[in-house]
Amino acid sequence: MYDVDNPATLDSKIQKLIVLFVFEKMAIPLEESTVLDLCTSDNNWLSYIDCKQYLDELLETNLLYRVPRSDYISITQDGISCLSLFFPRIPSHIREEITNYTRENRMRYKRKQQYFCDYSKNSDGTYTVIMKIKNDITTLMELRLIVNDRQTAKYIFKNWTEKASETFALIHDTLLE
């Protein structure tokens, strides 16, 4: 029937339960790209195509919902109820792996979603670095910096996640003094 050591070989109902289980264990709304990374490239719980399809189907059936005015998805009460009835169908070693992984990495994914950074090259050879701090509903702060070279842009990009909250607090406090 299927190989319990390879979640990608599980039937579609169990794979959908895995998606619901991930949402329940993460206990925070997630961007679609975060769910796809979490379930596919960061772990081997599902294939990318299957995960994308199951997200769409779970949204259509109201087991997941899009958080209003945001890019986030969360589990509905119906999704929680469905999961509570059928989660034993997910092989126990997969449930344990998801539970352990989400416990250890929840804050990293939350920061990754809340602290966005990217950079691009400008026509004059400089680089624009865009940094954002978001919450579940809106962008709290967006900074655009022009830097002289790619090395500086990469350095800012690399450090943004660790420095974002400190930067926000400094700007906020300075402006309110």
Question: Measured between alpha carbons, how far is 38 from 43 in angstroms, rounded to an integer?
Answer: 6
Give the per-residue pLDDT at 154: 95
- pLDDT for res 2: 44
The reported pLDDT for the residue numbered 9 is 59
Answer whether 132's CB lies under 8 Å from 115's CB.
yes
> Side chain identity at 154, as an amino acid letter?
K
pLDDT digits (tens, 9 = 90+) for 136-154: 677 889 999 999 999 999 9
What domains appear along the chain, each with residue ranges and CATH number?
Answer: 7-113 (1.10.10.10), 114-176 (no CATH)
Output the CA–CA distances (angstroms, integers) from residue 164 to 96, 108, 112, 138, 168, in the order listed. 32, 13, 11, 16, 6
Q: Against a cut of 0.85, is the pTM above it?
A: no
Task: Express each pLDDT in 23-41 by its tens digit.
Answer: 999 998 899 999 999 999 9
Return the pLDDT at 161: 84
| Cβ pair 58, 80 in contact under 8 A | no
Backbone dihedral angles phi then psi of residue 170, each to the nearest 5 degrees: -65, -50
Strand order in 64-66's β-sheet? 30-31, 72-75, 64-66
Residue 77 has pLDDT above 90, yes or no: yes
Whole-number mean pLDDT of the chain? 90
The stretch 105-133 carries a mean pLDDT of 91
Chain-centre distance of CA 134, in angstroms? 13
Q: Which residues are CB-neighbours of 16 under 8 A, at least 6 positions away? A: 54, 57, 58, 63
Strands 127-134 and 115-121: antiparallel
